[in-house]
Amino acid sequence: MNPILKRIITALSTAALVVWAIVKVPTGWIPPAVWALVAVAVLEYALLLKRKLPLHSARGVLLLAVGLAVIGGGLSALSEAALRHGNWMLLYLIAIVKLSDMGGFAFGMSSARLMKGGNHKLCPTISPNKSWEGLAGSVIASVLMSLAFLPVTHFTGPKAVAFGVVAALVGTAGDLVESKFKRWVGVKDSATFMPAGLGGFLDMFDSLLFAPAVLLSFI
């Protein structure tokens, strides 16, 4: 199967499972589920880090602690959102960030094919496929999703637009941070124990490393 098609199918399947879980499960179940994801993501991070340097070295311990703080602190905001504001607000935060991912991917791929000479690269040394056109697509998709959630969030229109823009920008920043880490350890995908072509846990959640915490602080 085409790797891109495989990733799209995986992403849609994962999204459907996440939506079902958030809507159906009691709020009290959210924190344990989030921390289980954190544990898997940190394990994947540690296995990737081990490729570059010994984990028992001073630098290894420091980078492992930084990764634990970033991954644990970032993703823990998801459970905090559910506990403070309910499951639907949690779904909102995830939806606007992940839809920005999809919008960026769609706009980036389309612009690369349609524009003469290709699109305009955002950070070619870190993530060669990221483009300014893709970032614009991320913002558009995230804003539209944020507006669609107005019956849930009860935000004003301008606030919903602002949240959509911030989600796209901060989500892209998380993606770039993970891409920089992958380049440093010399891998294309973060997967260490998942089938080839499906990416990894860090690939799935990189855009959620900073965005939920940033957005939650303004709700």
Residue 121 host element (H or E): strand 121-123
Read off the pLDDT of residues 145-201 as tens digits, 9 standing for 90 and up: 999 999 999 999 999 999 999 999 999 999 999 999 988 988 887 766 555 555 677
pLDDT band of residue 85 (cuts 50, 70, 90) is very high
Strand, helix or coil for residue 27: helix
Residue 23, pLDDT score: 78
- Mind giving me the DSSP string for 191-217? -SSS-TTS--HHHHHGGGTTHHHHHHT
What DSSP string describes 59-96? Answer: HHHHHHHHHHHHHHHHHHHHHHHHHHH-HHHHHHHHHH
Q: Which residue has the tokens 């524009």?
A: 115
Question: What's the confidence (pLDDT) of residue 176?
Answer: 93
Round to whole Å and give the CA distance between 65 and 42. Answer: 10
Question: Do the bridges between strand 127-131 and strand 121-123 make them parallel or antiparallel, or are there none, so unpaired?
Answer: antiparallel
pLDDT for 6-19, tens place per residue?
556 666 676 677 77
Is residue 25 very low, low, confident or very high in pLDDT (cuts 50, 70, 90)? confident
Stated pTM of the model: 0.87
